[in-house]
A and B are shown apart, each in its own frame.
Chain A
């Protein structure tokens, strides 16, 4: 088990310089990185996907597709990212909201035109929507949510809600993978000097129209990438309980707020805050689980956190089996006390 652990940790999180591939030029990986962006900013998951792509060796080209008003500045930012050799920019109003129907054929045509061997993207909502559609157009069996790269055709990915790790080898000509952001450090946004090339978007008519987005606004750090997360469960009993106990502690720790599915379903917290197999996967430095029992589906989303703290009044709660520090206490007393003493 220890061997597996060190393999897993080293393989997935080692800094790139430690694993510079002397043989990378002899391999012939030629990767297209799909760059996800919003409001002119590159999604950090794309930078983690880039780190995974670098482990394949070979040259990496980044695809920035977006509306004419957005794509240029994103492309400029992508050109500065360390590790990207070339930025392909494709501008069209059709790409404004990263819908899969126009994006998938664009990816297909670029892969075919440039003979890419790999397509790499973050395993985000956008990545999960767009990339499988592109994969099927390339007749590739996608490898989803990888946590380690073992070779240019061999990847490690969690299955069964993270209760097993499968090592899979692809025999496809074109390998299409999505990457778990928390398993790879983000590539540096500075230090690169990629060339930029405009590519014609072509036609991809779709009946799908983006109407609107309802964003949960928060001044706290982004849940998926926060260094610290404070999560609440059903034991908070109400949205008011969430606001009164979880949020002040999170603010004190400069942490993002998360929630269990029970808390989300009961309406105590917003859907976007759900941590677990069906929500966000997080791996912060510190994860504080408050009033969360620790169902398999929740653990799937947070068990790679560096330090896990559990505060729960039930000493038998499964969360204590994985928590580094467990406090058996009534959260209504312990959490305000902790908030005050920090």
Chain B
């Protein structure tokens, strides 16, 4: 039926290496950041994005041709790329950037990767986490969509691709919004960001972790992408401080005392 397989979707999943979500972070002694000498792992929302790409292929084999994961950051970012490969991605791209990146810079790197890969095997969908749990910015996917002039579906809790991954095929997305859910219909190519409830990411099995070591990892530098000037930080962090501490811990003996204390404080 299909004229060619070339149009099938190539899905790009950007992932970020962040401090593990369970780590209790500490403000660094210089007051300019946090202590990063701690356990890192893949940003949880990005795991959901990788999982969704793999599931999309499991649901609709004909639609997804290739799943490419990528990360921009220092060499250690390759750890999370290997994890994503073990979850079922086909190949990885590491953009080597030593310093910290703002979402604006990441979106420019992503656009450059989408452009660079266009000749070989065009990317038709980018799946990202809705936010990184370190900077909590919630910007990158939207910025990328703006740069590419592609539609965006943010905070997705359900993704249904109707078609075979061709340009113009319909995509129905359920989005988590304030007050409930919103359902939108849009088309490929598309940028989508994942909410927590989209899926439950799988664990990588040991055989798959071994296989992942053999999968292809392409490395680009910022110069390869022609972005030396475009990713300079625009925001200077003047200070990072601990939030005001709460003096909690006071216990009451029973419900009567609780109600009395709340009345005294004027809260009820």
Contact = CB atoms under 8 A, between A and B. Distances in A.
A210 B175 CA distance: 11
Contacts of A101: 151-152
Given A132-B138, A160-B134, 11 more contacts: A129-B142, A133-B143, A141-B103, A142-B137, A167-B239, A171-B234, A208-B153, A211-B183, A306-B267, A326-B250, A328-B251
Contacts of B195: 278
B21 interface: yes
Interface residues on B, range: 35 or more
Interface in B81-140: 102-105, 107, 130-131, 133-140
B34 interface: yes
A164 B27 contact: yes
A226 B4 CA distance: 56
Contacts of A170: 234-235
Q: Which applies to chain B's interface (DSSP): helix, strand, loop or mixed?
A: mixed
B237 A104 contact: no
A143 B186 CA distance: 28
Interface of A: 1, 4-5, 8-9, 97, 99-101, 104, 124-126, 128-137, 139-145, 154, 158-172, 206-216, 224, 228, 253, 261, 265, 270-272, 277-278, 280, 285-286, 296-297, 303, 306-309, 320-329, 334, 337-338, 341-342
Contacts of B131: 278
A210 B238 CA distance: 41
B30 interface: no
Interface in B238-252: 238-252
Contacts of A160: 19, 25, 34, 133-134, 136
Interface stretch (B6-14, B58-66, B254-262): B254-262
11 contacts: A99-B184, A104-B146, A126-B178, A166-B239, A207-B187, A216-B179, A296-B21, A297-B21, A308-B246, A309-B258, A323-B249
Given A101-B152, A126-B177, A129-B154, A286 B255 contact: no
Question: Residue among A97, A164, A272, A323 with the most chain B CB within 10 A?
Answer: A164
A140 B153 CA distance: 21
Nearest to B259: A341
Nearest to B181: A214
Contact of B179 (A129, A134, A211, A272): A272
A262 B107 CA distance: 32
A133 B182 CA distance: 19
A135 B180 contact: no
B225 interface: no
Nearest to B244: A5
Contacts of B202: none
Nearest to B28: A164
Given A1-B242, A4-B241, A338-B258, A136 B152 contact: no
Given A136-B143, A166-B240, A308-B246, A141 B102 contact: yes
B186 A164 contact: no
Interface in B183-242: 183-187, 195-197, 233-242
B139 A142 contact: yes
B100 to A, nearest CB: 12
Given A143-B235, A322-B246, A327 B179 contact: no
Contacts of B5: none
A158 B136 contact: yes
Contact of A165 (B179, B242, B255, B259): B242
Given A160-B133, A327-B258, A211 B185 contact: yes
Contacts of B176: 125, 271-272
A271 B176 CA distance: 8
Contact of A212 (B155, B183, B186, B251): B183
B57 interface: no
B108 to A, nearest CB: 9
B267 A286 contact: yes
Contacts of B154: 100, 128-129
Contacts of B178: 124-126, 224, 272, 280
Question: Residue among B102, B103, B183, B239 with the most chain A CB within 10 A?
Answer: B239
Nearest to B19: A160
A8 to B, nearest CB: 6
B208 to A, nearest CB: 26
Contacts of A211: 172, 183-185
B41 interface: no
A97 to B, nearest CB: 8
Contacts of A329: 254-255
A110 B162 CA distance: 36
Contacts of B22: 296
